[in-house]
């Protein structure tokens, strides 16, 4: 399992996101409770623009550790990139409250809020 994780991380660090997904998925299947594996897999999925799957992995991380600001932030970003702005607001707001010094967290939270408001107005 560790070899799979290491191989996946090496591929991830070299920007080969699609290839990294394979060993990291296998490692996750062997050790589903291992946060480091799930985070690496989520990052690979996110960078490979597989946002739905990335969101599922980041969501699993936040369920296991609700104060993981990075996982919350990335979950929110994945939701934004899927066009699900209303769903992005909550995890982004939580990430901001956990790390108020992070300007990037605040910027994306505010973008999600504005987009969600626009979406609600359009539905009327």
Read off the pLDDT of residues 15-40 as tens digits, 9 standing for 90 and up: 999 999 999 999 999 999 999 999 99
pLDDT tens-place string over residues 59-94: 999 999 999 999 999 999 999 999 999 999 999 999
Strands (E), the chain: none
So what's the pLDDT on residue 1?
82
Sorted by where each begins, the domain ranges of the chain are 1-49, 51-124
DSSP string, 55-84: HHHHHHHHHH-TT-HHHHHHHHHHHHHTT-
User: Which architecture, in CATH terms, is 51-124?
Assistant: Alpha Horseshoe (1.25)
Q: Are 39 and 61 in contact (CB under 8 A)?
A: yes
Q: What is the mean pLDDT of the chain?
A: 96
Is residue 56's pLDDT more than 90? yes
């Amino acid at each position: 399992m560790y070899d799979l994780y290491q191989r996946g991380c090496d591929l991830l660090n070299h920007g080969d996101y699609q290839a990294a997904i394979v060993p990291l998925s296998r490692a996750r299947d062997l050790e589903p409770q291992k946060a480091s594996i799930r985070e690496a897999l989520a990052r690979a999925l996110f960078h490979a623009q597989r946002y739905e799957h990335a969101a599922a992995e980041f969501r699993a991380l936040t369920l296991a550790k609700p104060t993981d600001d990075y996982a919350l932030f990335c979950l929110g970003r994945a939701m934004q990139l899927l066009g699900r702005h209303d769903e992005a607001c909550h995890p982004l707001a939580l990430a901001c409250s956990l790390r108020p010094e992070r300007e990037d967290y605040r910027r994306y939270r505010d973008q999600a809020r504005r987009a969600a408001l626009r979406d609600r107005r359009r539905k009327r």
